[in-house]
Structure 1
């Protein structure tokens, strides 16, 4: 009698190959899905971190805008002794140029970069001098470093720049609205408008929309409201 040959038949081998292929495809799908989720979450976290950094920086500078000392009127010696627009309107939004201009206190200290130095006696005079051209501080005067910060959105390049230097890329939109009061004596915000009398501004609403250049996730829009602490008018 012939000995019985033990082993797998053709049908069994084909079935095993099919099952192995199905399991391999399932594992590959799980891996691809996990990688896609990881990339999406990483992109989302990066956008949130960028937005948090940019908006918190602008909010901090808005809160210090108009902090020129004890007097509301500043004579700009760097502008021929006239009243400069920067000091008259320390928070300005140019819708045509898509730029936000701030005249804000340089709180890092006397060694920090600044545009002007305001000398004031808090009684009768406040004069702004260009950085590096200010005279010595007289007795009874304070010297306050002030800087001009210009944030400009370039839609064509999808970029938000600070003083002409790229600050953040992949920006879809950047807008500013002013929370204004009904009158100079009121402190509460009555409505938000695109243009306003500086004396009526009580807060600033910033909106920033970012996108993922690799389209791994939808655009994200971030919005924050910054209170204006200092007198603007």
Structure 2
């Protein structure tokens, strides 16, 4: 009596192995694609967070430019006699050296010694002194800082120390009024004729991904000045 052979032939086994390899390759490709997507999204999130941090910080400080206490006239009793000149040019952008200089009221008690301190009774007298100063019982102290931001070697530096990296481009333009007494912005320029014409500041930052996973992204913020510059 003859018995029919049972089982798989060589051809069936080879086909099964091929199908298995195709399935495994597909699963691996899905994992690789998911990982690449995660890495790209993470790189993009890092760029956005860096841009948000520096632009928010600078915008907050720009809003406080020109805030030198509760009186318009401040006597300059600083050690170098440099407060008055800094007060007049309290915001400057040098496109040649890519430096943004701000003379601003200390935002949120940043710590450390301020560049100047304005002591004022908010009635008749205000005096600027160098560094920190202790007010009397009838005075209020206003810490003032001179901050110098610079774009160099794909970094934003503050006082020479890098605070944000992977920056491809950084630009500053000012919204200006026609006269020192107008409040409406009539144009934008990087070189205003006078500081007292500035009504707003637009900061633009182009970030790049060091790993090359995502394209460059541009971020911009427009900040109005709260205090009139003289």
Q: TM-score, normalised by structure 2?
A: 0.91
Per the alignment, residue 151 of structure 1 pairs with 149
How many Å apart are 1:44 and its aligned residue?
0.9
Separation in 2, partners of 1:176, 1:73? 29
Per the alignment, residue 223 of structure 2 pairs with 226
Separation in 2, partners of 1:211, 1:111? 31
Separation in 2, partners of 1:208, 1:87? 27
- Evaluate the alpha carbon distance shift between residue 82 and residue 219 of structure 1 in structure 2; reply closer, same or farther with a 3 A threshold: closer
1:73-84 matches, within 5 Å, as 73-78=73-78, 80-81=80-81, 84=84
How many Å apart are 1:30 and its aligned residue?
1.1
How many Å apart are 1:70 and its aligned residue?
3.2
Per the alignment, residue 198 of structure 2 pairs with 201
- Aligned pair partner of 1:142 in 133, 140, 143: 140
Deviation track 1:96-121 (CA, whole Å, cap 9, x = no partner) reads 11111111111435965411101234
Aligned: 1:98 with 2:98: yes
Deviation track 1:129-168 (CA, whole Å, cap 9, x = no partner) reads 1114x4x6457543211111111110xx211111111101
Q: 10-19 or 59-68: which moved more?
A: 10-19
Separation in 2, partners of 1:77, 1:88? 16
Per the alignment, residue 164 of structure 1 pairs with 160
Q: 1:72·1:232 contact (CA, 8 Å) conserved in 2?
A: no
Name the SS for the 1:84 alignment partner. helix
5+ residue gaps, structure 1, are none
- Evaluate the alpha carbon distance shift between residue 33 and residue 205 of structure 1 in structure 2; reply closer, same or farther with a 3 A threshold: same
Separation in 2, partners of 1:198, 1:100? 13
5+ residue gaps, structure 2, are none
- Evaluate the alpha carbon distance shift between residue 109 and residue 27 of structure 1 in structure 2; reply closer, same or farther with a 3 A threshold: closer
How many Å apart are 1:19 and its aligned residue?
1.0
How many Å apart are 1:36 and its aligned residue?
0.8
Separation in 1, partners of 2:191, 2:76? 24
Aligned: 1:52 with 2:49: no
Aligned length: 229
Name the SS for the 1:19 alignment partner. helix
Q: 54-63 or 1-10: which moved more?
A: 1-10
